[in-house]
Amino acid sequence: MQTLALVAIDGTIDYFCQPDIDSPSIFAELLDAERGGHFRFGVRDETMRHRQIYLPDTNILITRFLGESGIGEVSDFMPLDGSGRIVRRAKAIVGELLFELSVSPRPDYARITPTLTLFDGGFSAAWPGAEPLYFHTSMPVTLENGTATATVRLKEGETCHAVLCPGRKGQKAVDDAYVRDAFVETRAFWHDWVAAGTYPTFRQDLVVRSALTLKLLTSMKHGSIAAAGTFGLPEVIGGERNWDYRFTWVRDSAFTIYAFSRLGYFDEAEDFMHFLMQHALSGGEPHLQIMYGMDGGTELPEISLDHLSGYENSRPVRIGNGAFDQRQMDIYGEFMDTLYIASRVRGKPSNAVWSTTSRIIDWLADNWGLPDHGIWESRGEPREYLSSRLMCWVAFDRALRLAIRHSLPAPIERWRAERDKIQKTLLEEFWNPEIGAFTQYKGGRGLDAVVLLMPLVKFINPRDPMWISTLAAVKRELVHDCLVHRYVNLDENSDGLEGEEGSFTICSFWYVEALARTGKVGEARFLFEKLHSYANHLGLYSEELSSAGDHLGNFPQGLTHLSLISAAIWLDRSLNGDRSDPAFHRFHQTEDPDGVF
């Protein structure tokens, strides 16, 4: 909950940014096999088969090496003590095995080769302007050309470790006892966190894994929530759609808060609202920025790292995100929804929070019709997008609910009038009778999967004829088996970029939930199971899927996992609700009485 690392199937950490998730990388072999740097630890035997599992209900990863000569494993975890460490423990399970360690730190996005120095019990990596990193291991280490290597032969039952430690004072000493204790404490933390939630019975294993993944993307320090763990992973192999998602989007964070709330986790909502009030709204302006740095920073300039070859030669590799100063009107709906969720448990908002919120809604009352770049951050010309208009409706709707429920001072009649105007424009100006569907933008003819949010946000009854017709159009134009594309990239709605992207996994789970809400539960369940077959071997998802089922875009992606949670919960209620209970029937007639989406 400060940063994360990706561990390849062979035990190589090939992606890691330090000390924070949006800090420069230390290892980035994933983005450049020659220059990026790595932290490799595993059995030295090319005939070995590899398997990976998470220790149940934790974020502790086990990489296993299976072969005729024996079985070995490497356990990876980050202690929750604020140390910033990565603990890696190797063990010979069956037989006698040779483990190999290879560490090539390449800080500052592989623009620096640090100085490596041996010390008793390991080696350090130092470079100008930063605290050194220390690598503790009991193996004898050799240094050559900026890389540290070591080998150790372990007999059955024996262990060894390699621990990455940021240079901080007062750290616990690293020895076998520390590794054992840290493992037990980390396991207990994640078990306690999972036990505190309320999970559906339908596909509980997938929901728990998604929740744990979302938790990894939250910042314990700031309360912000990263959209994904990585930068530069392509949406089109060999193309230019390579973005940096290691920031907190108001939209993505609000959706994540909703998913957490469905599982009974509300502290995250309060922490994120505190983050927004402290950083995002500290300048006194009545409107929001679409994204912020994990520490609340407002300037996120986009830079190309031309020295990196990119994942499978997908260039340029970008850090920062040029969309940070775009206008996206939908974020006000997501902001208000987060506040609404937090108030359900924490009660009436404080006077300071409501005063700021009222000014935002008053500003929105004068500006909700502004053209923008939409929920998908188009780099084409600004338009009046359905996604933005719909979420502006949500903003006024949730503001009215809050004001009325908690007797808060507000211009109720004005806000209600603006909400109703937006509803009228959506029904009249975004409906295309020729295709029988709501379209991506005002007066257009192209479809956008964001329309699937309409019943989820309670804008339209899922059995309304206009919605049934729209859902049929989405199936006809955007759905291929269980995979759903964001939109058809027609000339009229070009996003200004080259290359045809894959299907968006969040849209696929939106579609599943929309089917279930419309009463097509059997079809929804079938597609949900199909989508599960596209997850990686650990149940994780990237942003998109290719037509061949390959993962595309940044990873792991929060939007995908939160939409999985929402779809699973709705399916669970549809499949397992007590149909003898009148409350069950009232629930399905009025939609989710407690949820928002």
Instruction: Give mean pLDDT, residues 159-178.
Output: 88
Q: Which amino acid is at 523?
A: E
Q: How far apart are CA 159 and CA 91, in angstroms?
A: 4
Instruction: Report yes or no: 488 and 426 within 8 Å, Cβ to Cβ.
Output: no
Span 429-480, pLDDT tens digits: 999 999 999 999 999 999 999 999 999 999 999 999 999 999 999 999 999 9
Q: Indicate the pTM of the whole model.
A: 0.93
Q: Give CA separation, 321 vs 72, 313, 387, in Å.
A: 41, 20, 21
Mean of per-residue pLDDT scores for the chain = 92
pLDDT at 249 over 70: yes
Kindly report whether the peptide bond that precedes residue 316 is cis, defined as omega within 30 degrees of 0.
Answer: yes
Instruction: Report yes or no: 99 and 18 within 8 Å, Cβ to Cβ.
Output: no
Structure tokens at 144: 């050559």
Q: State in Å, rounded, how far the first CA of the chain is from the last one.
A: 26
Span 481-526, pLDDT tens digits: 999 999 976 555 455 566 567 899 999 999 999 999 999 999 999 9
- Give one DSSP letter per residue of 452-499, joined into a string: GHHHHTTSS-TT-HHHHHHHHHHHHHTEETTEE-SB---GGG--S-SS
pLDDT of residue 587: 36
Q: What are phi and psi of 441, to 5 degrees?
A: -145, 170
For CATH 2.70.98.50, the residue range(s) in the chain are 5-168
- Looking at domain 200-590, its CATH class is mainly alpha
pLDDT of residue 292: 94
Q: How far apart are CA 331 and CA 338, in angstroms?
A: 11
Selection from 61, 44, 76 nearest residue 162 by Cα: 76
Higher pLDDT, 497 or 408: 408
Evaluate the CA torsion angle 288, 294, 299, 301 in order and state its sign: negative
Would you place residue 203 in the very low, low, confident or very high pLDDT band (cuts 50, 70, 90)?
very high
Name the E strands within 204-295: 231-234, 242-244, 248-249, 291-292
Instruction: Please report, rounded to a whole number, the percentage of residues in the chain having pLDDT higher than 70.
Output: 93
For CATH 1.50.10.10, the residue range(s) in the chain are 200-590
pLDDT of residue 586: 38
For the chain, the farthest-separated pair of C-alpha atoms sits apart, in whole angstroms, at: 77
Instruction: Report yes or no: 125 and 166 within 8 Å, Cβ to Cβ.
Output: no
Q: Which amino acid is at 159?
A: T
pLDDT at 596 over 50: no
3-state secondary structure 95-122: CCEEEEEEEECCHHHHCCCCEEEEECCE
Rounded to 10 degrees, the C-alpha dihedral 472/496/22/207 comes to 10
pLDDT at 136 over 70: yes
Evaluate the CA torsion angle 507, 513, 519, 524 in order and state its sign: positive
pLDDT of residue 285: 64
Q: How far apart are CA 531 and CA 525, in angstroms?
A: 10
Give, to the nearest 10 degrees, the angle between helix 558-576 and helix 204-216: 150
If one looks up domain 5-168 in CATH, what number appears?
2.70.98.50
Long-range contacts of 401-410, Cβ-Cβ distance < 8 Å, separation of 24 or more: 401/340, 402/336, 402/339, 402/340, 402/343, 402/349, 402/354, 402/357, 405/343, 406/343, 406/347, 406/348, 406/349, 408/348, 408/349, 408/354, 409/354, 409/358, 410/358, 410/361
Question: Is residue 142 classed as helix, strand or coil in its secondary structure?
Answer: strand
Instruction: Report yes or no: 14 and 27 within 8 Å, Cβ to Cβ.
Output: yes
Evaluate the CA torsion angle 362, 381, 305, 554 in order and state its sign: positive
Q: How far apart are CA 298 and CA 326, in angstroms?
A: 12
β-bridge mates for residue 126, sequence order: 115
pLDDT of residue 593: 41
Question: Is residue 511 classed as helix, strand or coil in its secondary structure?
Answer: helix
Q: Are strands 479-480 and 483-484 parallel, antiparallel or unpaired?
A: antiparallel
